[in-house]
A = this chain, B = another copy of it.
Amino acid sequence: MTREVKMKRVLITGAAGHLGNVMRSRLNDWATEIRLSDIAKVDDLKANEQYVHCDLGDADAVMSLVEGCDAIVHFGGVSTENTFDSILHGNIKGSYNLYEAARKNGVKRIFFASSNHVIGFHERETLLDAHSPMRPDSVYGLSKGFGELLAQYYYDKFGIESALVRIGSCFPKPRNRRMLSTWLSEGDLTDLIKKVYAADRLGCTVIYGVSDNPSTWWDNRYAKFIGWTPKDSSAVFENEAYLQEEQTDPNDPAVRFQGGLFVSAGHYED
């Protein structure tokens, strides 16, 4: 259902980051007003955009940030492997602060950008769905797993609905052979965000954020009720020379397991 209810005030966290920035422009005419938050500066504001500097680890700041919003698209926090302290601050405290603020401000539905690194330690030949057990491949993946449990808790106890979108690899095109399987086009992500808010009911639902690629490790059957159908495919990139030439070894942990280099990496050290 592409009910494009125009939203009143949408909050996009992490608006200075890669995904936040891309979605900021794609979602511009979806809402009357868009509030953009980040710890970094967001430039070139459009007429309906508002920038709020916010450290997600600061509970009071987040409480103010969320006030008056009817939708939250949460890309904020640390978006790759990092020290435990920084991830604890941005992702664990950050997501808790966000849900608490949503609860106190009456926000009813959250788009939560989770990650495929929540399930990165499954082998490629294991087809996953929304009920598969989490097996994080990194402290980053662990923090996203925490976020998913947090969302489930706020749904069960307070009725706040969440889309837990395990984003694959959202770039203009796949950067390596692994991304032929995990690629999510920007257009499909845009469409997914809109569907999540157009759905009559969302519950607390895990969705794999992946386009309609020829090869896939993830089955979105349990999210079909939302009505999202990705339209793009990595097939158009298959013959790119840099993908044809990349050498891979099936026994390399970065190939064997879904999380790729996050799996083969050791522990992040300062």
Contact = CB atoms under 8 A, between A and B. Distances in A.
Interface string A217-254: 10101101111110000010011000110001011000
A59 to B, nearest CB: 9
A228 B235 CA distance: 11
B225 A217 contact: yes
Q: How often does this chain occur in the complex, in copies?
A: 6
Interface string A195-217: 00001111101000000011111
Contact of A177 (B88, B96, B200, B214): B200
B2 A123 contact: no
Interface of A: 1-3, 5, 84, 88, 92-93, 96, 100, 103, 108, 121, 123-125, 127, 131, 133-139, 141-142, 145-146, 149-150, 152-153, 156-159, 161, 177-178, 180-181, 199-203, 205, 213-217, 219, 221-222, 224-229, 235, 238-239, 243-244, 248, 250-251, 255-256, 263, 267
Given A200-B255, A227-B214, A142 B149 contact: yes
A224 B142 contact: no
Given A157-B137, A222-B125, A229-B214, A243 B3 contact: yes
7 contacts: A1-B214, A88-B93, A127-B221, A136-B153, A159-B251, A214-B227, A215-B226
Contacts of A127: 221-222, 224-225
Given A180-B1, A244-B3, A142 B135 contact: no
Contacts of A121: 152-153, 156-157
A95 B86 CA distance: 16
A213 B1 CA distance: 9
Contacts of A248: 200-201
Nearest to A229: B214
Given A214-B229, A215-B224, A135 B156 contact: yes
